[in-house]
Amino acid sequence: MASGRDDFIIAIRSAFLKKSNKQQFSLLALIFFSIFLIFLSNLNFVGIKYIKIGVNEATYRLSAIISYPEKKFIDSINFLTEYFNVYKENQNLKDEIDQLKSEKLNNIFVENENKRLKELVGESSRILDGVISRVLIDKDGKFLKSIILNKGSKDGIKKGMVVLEKNYLVGQVIEVNYTTSRAILISDLNSNIPVVIEPGSFQSILGGTGKSYGKIKYSKDEIDFNNNSIVYTSGSGGNFRAGLPVGKINNQIDKLAVEFFF
Amino acid sequence: MVQKKINLKNKLLKYFPLVLLYFSVLNEFDIDVSSIGLFSFNLPFIIIFYWSLKDPDQIGNGLIFFSGILNDVTLGYPIGVSSFIYLTIIAFAAYLRNITLRPNIYKDSLIFLIAIMFANSVNALILSYVFSIEINFFEIITNITFTFIFYFLFARIFNYLKPLGV
């Protein structure tokens, strides 16, 4: 019995402390060092922040270079798929254009009316200028859905800025480096956005699910939303501008599922 | 000229596990992530466990630690988390190496399963309790399952490459 325990202790000690000729560091020393790093990360230690910014800059660029062939390969496959679907898509687009043309006329009227009313109540309708950026890395983690953008503090990017794609809300900047930044996607589990659901102007919170759709949370009443009801940012809390289209209700996935536009 | 070619080939083979590890950590091809529905597996875990078990000198502990830092940066995790997780995988492999006289793939894979379950649990605990990051546990279980299944395949590939000089 004692011998078995001794063997176990010897094996553990050897695993953690023994290092071969080519190993520079013992396992135990590195484990302690990584715990120390986690501890510093948790404290938001200033030194770690600067080291992280430096490492981020180098790693993002390196990762983008390494990912380039695979990215091109996926782009080529997407291109070919789109190419073969082009005829069918063209027919659909023609129908859609006809519909949009009629809707546009209505929208111009509503837009002008809205502008007039805003002037009446003295509210500014100025839209802030944005920064056009390219996605450097689009790597989803098991725990975090985020993208790396090729613009950073040098280009005026600030923490908390919204990320849009074709005017649709995509995410929010959570980390800014000098030439790069990271944005958390609205599909991430940790993402919660105040939204309004139209028609009906129902105020709620849209949470990410880690998948391609979100879920309505904390709705005041148990409401059955119509399929294809549009979800916009409500602007509550001041983090997001009001009226940014986010997605539409898709009852086929779930009663409260919101299919994102992006 | 021929000698140079052989040397280059030997060097490429020698550094193959290390290059594959860094490639999988830095690449956008998400072998660590659910990109095809629920399919996902963690290639760095397989590489680290296999080479720490069979030939610990092939990839140094320090280099594995550094690959963890790069993984944290690429995925946006707090610095040090992946390094710690990778080191726990090495610890399991080192323990198994010390107690094993006659290695066999089934015994290795069983310890590998325990190692990745432990590593993922610790990872989830750190991210959830220390850094308040919400976690999809179903995705982790799927990842563990596929990583375990793929261990057999990659172990066979690495076993085949080892005699070639890797």
CB-based contact B126 A38, cutoff 8 Å: yes
Same domain, A198 and A179: no
AA letter at A39:
F
Which of A120, A152, A185 terminates a domain? The answer is A185
B residues 32-91 lying closer than 8 A (beta carbon) to A = 32-35, 40, 56-57, 60-62, 65, 68-70, 73-81, 83-84, 87-88, 90-91
CB–CB contact B30 A140 (8 Å):
yes
Asked if residue A212 is part of any domain, the answer here is yes
Residue B164 class from Cβ within 10 Å (0-12 exposed, 13-18 middle, 19+ buried)? exposed
Q: Clarify whether residues A151 and A205 are in a common domain.
A: no
Q: Are residues A142 and A158 in the same domain?
A: yes
Query: What is the per-residue pLDDT for B33?
Result: 45
B115 token code pair: 């190692």
A38 and B35: CB-CB below 8 Å? no
Partners of A216 in beta bridges: A206
Q: How many C-alpha atoms does B62 have within 13 Å on its Cβ side?
A: 7
CB pairs under 8 A between A and B: 163
CA-to-CA distance for A191 and A209, rounded, in angstroms?
A: 9
The pLDDT-based confidence of B48 (bands split at 50, 70, 90) is very high
Residue finishing a domain among A127, A152, A185: A185
CATH code for the domain in which residue A143 is found: 2.40.10.340
Is residue A248 assigned to a domain? yes
A201 and A181 housed in the same domain? no
* Threshold 0.80, pTM exceeds: no
Q: Count of CB atoms within 10 A of residue B165's CB?
A: 13
Single-letter amino acid code for the residue at A35: I
Asked whether the beta carbons of residue B27 and residue A59 sit closer than 8 angstroms, the reply is no
Q: β-strand A230-233 against A192-198: which pairing, if any?
A: antiparallel
Q: Which residues contact A16 (CB under 8 A, 6 or more apart)?
A: A26, A27, A28, A31, B91, B94
The token duo for B23 is 């490639």
Domain presence at residue A226: yes
Q: Is residue B125's pLDDT more than 60?
A: yes
Burial (Cβ within 10 Å: 0-12, 13-18, ≥19) of residue B7: exposed
Chain A (151-170) residues lying within 8 Å, Cβ to Cβ, of chain B: none
In a domain, A34, yes or no: no
- Rounded distance between C-alpha atoms, residue A10 and residue A4, angstroms: 10
Pairwise CB contact (< 8 Å): A66 & B30: no
Report the residue of chain A nearest B83, measured CA to CA: A34
Band of pLDDT at residue B38, cut at 50, 70 and 90: low
Strand order in the sheet with A168-176: A135-137, A146-149, A181-185, A168-176, A162-165
Whether A176 and A222 map to the same domain: the answer is no
Do A207 and A239 share a structural domain? yes
Q: Which of residues 18-37 of A touch B (CB under 8 A)?
A: 19-27, 30-31, 33-37
The domains located in chain B, with CATH, are 2-164 (1.10.1760)
Q: What is the CATH number of the domain that holds A215?
A: 2.40.10.350
CB-based contact B116:B43 (threshold 8 Å): no
What confidence score (pLDDT) does residue B34 get?
Answer: 45
pLDDT for B165:
62
Which of A123, A153, A185 is the last residue in one of the domains?
A185
B32 pLDDT above the threshold of 50: no
B13 falls in which pLDDT band (50, 70, 90)?
confident
pLDDT score for A212: 76
Q: What residues make up the domain containing A144?
A: 135-185
Q: Which residues of B touch A23 (CB under 8 A)?
A: 56-57, 60-62
Residues A181 and A196 in one domain: no
Is residue A24 in some structural domain?
no
Query: How many angstroms away from the CA of B30 is the closest CA of chain A?
Result: 7
Q: Which two tokens stand for residue B45?
A: 């875990």
Which candidate, B44, B13, B5, places its Cα nearest to that of B123?
Answer: B44
Chain B, residues 102-121, CB within 8 A of chain A, namely: none
Domain count, chain A: 2
- Taking the alpha carbons of B47, B49, B54, B57 in that order, is the dihedral positive or negative? positive
Residue ranges, chain A, pLDDT below 50: none
Contact B76 A14 (CB under 8 A): no
Q: Could you tell me if residue A175 is inside a domain? A: yes
Task: Among B62, B75, B84, select the one facing A31 at the smallest CB separation.
Answer: B84
- A215 shares contact with chain B (CB less than 8 Å): no
Contact A22 B60 (CB under 8 A): yes
Angle (CA) A221 A226 A227, round 5°: 135
Residue A199 resides in a domain: yes
Name which of A14, A143, A174 is nearest B98 (Cβ-Cβ). A14
Contact assignment for A25 to B79 by CB distance below 8 Å: no
Per residue in A48-73, pLDDT tens? Answer: 777 777 777 787 878 778 777 777 88
Of B32, B65, B133, the CB nearest to A30: B65
Residue A237 and residue A196 share a domain: yes
Crossing angle of helices B61-75 and B81-99, rounded to 10° = 150
Measured between CA atoms, how close is B98 to chain A, in angstroms?
Answer: 5
DSSP per position, chain B: -HHHHHHHHHHHHHTHHHHHHHHHHH-SS-TTS--BTTB---HHHHHHHHHHHH-TTTS-HHHHHHHHHHHHHHHTPPTTHHHHHHHHHHHHHHHHHHH-SS--HHHHHHHHHHHHHHHHHHHHHIIIIIS-----HHHHHHHHHHHHHHHHHHHHHHHHHGGGT-
Note the pLDDT tens digit of each residue in A124-158.
555 556 788 888 777 666 667 888 888 888 888 88
pLDDT(B121) > 70: yes
Beta bridge partners of A258: A214, A249
